[in-house]
Structure 1
């Protein structure tokens, strides 16, 4: 694998507590994340709502400062970039949002919105490039004159992808880009992202709650729960044989056509704890069917497991894996 394009080192983000009448506890959204993404590599991040996935994506893009740790581009911390250097770097780091309609200005024609990045970074003939980008994502050049409300959800997401590509980025965060779309349209958008990644050599952080989708698109996967990494490694081995109880539960929740496999559904106990008041020890222990007393005393390290390149944060991984 080539040297890292982006690398997170001991990355943490804590938000201050909010309360009208009394001070509430701070929210630990991301805690101690280490991650590297090489050029052309796609890394998936999965987990339930509130697991810290979107916060991690924004930290990797420099859209918010970390509380602890750092993010580096080609070995240089984001905090070192200032002024014109930061503007040039911003061209290289882009995002596709979950809500394709909410991320577009309803009062402006889509061609004008796609052209913003081209003009801002002085990338030549905007009209010609907008037409090429629309064609690249499966739309017609004439669509540049339409407004966002004139498109379907899937078409709007294609427009969002075209806008992200307008600056010729090296790295793309795709934050739940298909969760708001119909299943048939989801497959088309995933295929488009896979083609773009291959053709353009894009590095990608793909955020989702759907393990099978991530396994289709990504080289590696990171499973997050309450701001921490539970399991990470090559996507296919984790998809085929998950080790951490949380990864197993996520995968078992995926719809299956085979009745025998549907019978293996793992139902988690209760709701996720508040990130403002996480459990002691392993943060997943209050919902884990394998938890023992020691799980409340020890924060499990993310340690190598097996010979397929994965790491697992579970003190009982050797027994249940």
Structure 2
């Protein structure tokens, strides 16, 4: 993508394998291409085990890829020196899924929010208290609560603390890894509204990882659908939700609850159980659960290719099903 802030090409990542028992490794990602432009929100959806969180960590450089490249503002993360990494690190941050487990229960929240500023030496000590107040107000918390410990806050408040900590260094790219899945529905809406407003105010590039499709539709400009480590479909959120092209995307959307049952598309059941990532099917990895699979789906790995004007689909039958 021209002008992308973050861009991955041919990204793959394997875990484990080998040893005395010659156990097969698990390939969490397989040849993924994805990009996030400045100020853009890209959603990544899929079932558990599809590789969503692994992708987020690879884009942040928290994991090295087994193959492929990740570039941040044109810099190849694999070739970055320690000094370059230090400068890059403050420009990219993450909000974790568990708002309690991601905080140190023995430290006051104000000190944890300021960790990034202290590590990178961004402000003199005399100005950090003012910055802390700004961050807490920015996420809708009272600055007077900075001296409290994590257990004194609700789940939604703890996630706001995690967001404030991520924003402290002034990042340009934020990975939100299922940030509302552990919260009550009413609190989810509040945190989602906060993320949308912060993205607008700060011009953040956002990778939003979720299994909740309505939440992704609400926040994201584009969506990538992962299945067993591969991108099945990628394109503008409204188009993808209105007219999904890949059978897997259609099945996911057919299972999404709707307020008006008359607006719900016919349910498309997914056949069988998800295959093991350690022993994926040949050809199209989705073929064993796809109602439209044919003989060639077992022999050919479908390439993610343009479909229409603005999206890409990895399916041999996409044109027939349109």
TM bracket, shorter-chain basis: over 0.9
1:52 & 1:123 partners in 2: Cα distance?
A: 34
1:158 & 1:152 partners in 2: Cα distance?
A: 10
Structure 1 ranges of 4+ moved more than 3 A = none
1:264-303 matched pairs, under 5 angstroms: 264-303=266-305
Counterpart check, 1:230 vs 2:229: no
Give 1:138 deviation, angstroms: 0.5
User: Root-mean-square deviation (CA), in Å?
Assistant: 1.4
Matched positions, count:
319
Residues 212 and 239 of structure 1 are in contact (CA less than 8 Å); yes or no, is this contact kept in structure 2? no
Shift in alpha-carbon separation, 1:263–1:204, aligned structure 2, 3 A? closer
Match of 2:111 in 1: 112
Match of 2:175 in 1: 173
1:55-74 matched pairs, under 5 angstroms: 55-74=54-73
How far does the alpha carbon of each residue in 1:299-318 deviate from its partner, in whole angstroms, 9 at most, with x for none?
A: 111111123x0111110001
Residues 2 and 39 of structure 1 are in contact (CA less than 8 Å); yes or no, is this contact kept in structure 2? no
Match of 2:12 in 1: 12
1:153 & 1:119 partners in 2: Cα distance?
A: 26
Give 1:37 deviation, angstroms: 1.2
Shift in alpha-carbon separation, 1:2–1:67, aligned structure 2, 3 A? closer
Match of 1:163 among 157, 162, 165: 165
Give 1:202 deviation, angstroms: 0.5
Task: Flag structure 2 segments of 5+ consecutive residues without an equivalent.
Answer: none
SS of 1:9's equivalent in the other structure is strand
Give 1:84 deviation, angstroms: 2.1
Give 1:261 deviation, angstroms: 3.7
Match of 1:79 in 2: 78
Match of 1:200 in 2: 202
Give 1:49 deviation, angstroms: 0.4
2:85 & 2:315 partners in 1: Cα distance?
A: 39
2:107 & 2:72 partners in 1: Cα distance?
A: 33
Q: Scaled by the length of structure 2, what TM-score is found? A: 0.96
Give 1:141 deviation, angstroms: 0.1
Deviates more, 1:121-130 or 1:285-294: 121-130
1:159 & 1:109 partners in 2: Cα distance?
A: 11
1:33-44 matched pairs, under 5 angstroms: 33-44=32-43
Give 1:178 deviation, angstroms: 0.5
Match of 1:91 in 2: 90
SS of 1:5's equivalent in the other structure is strand
Task: Flag structure 1 segments of 5+ consecutive residues without an equivalent.
Answer: none
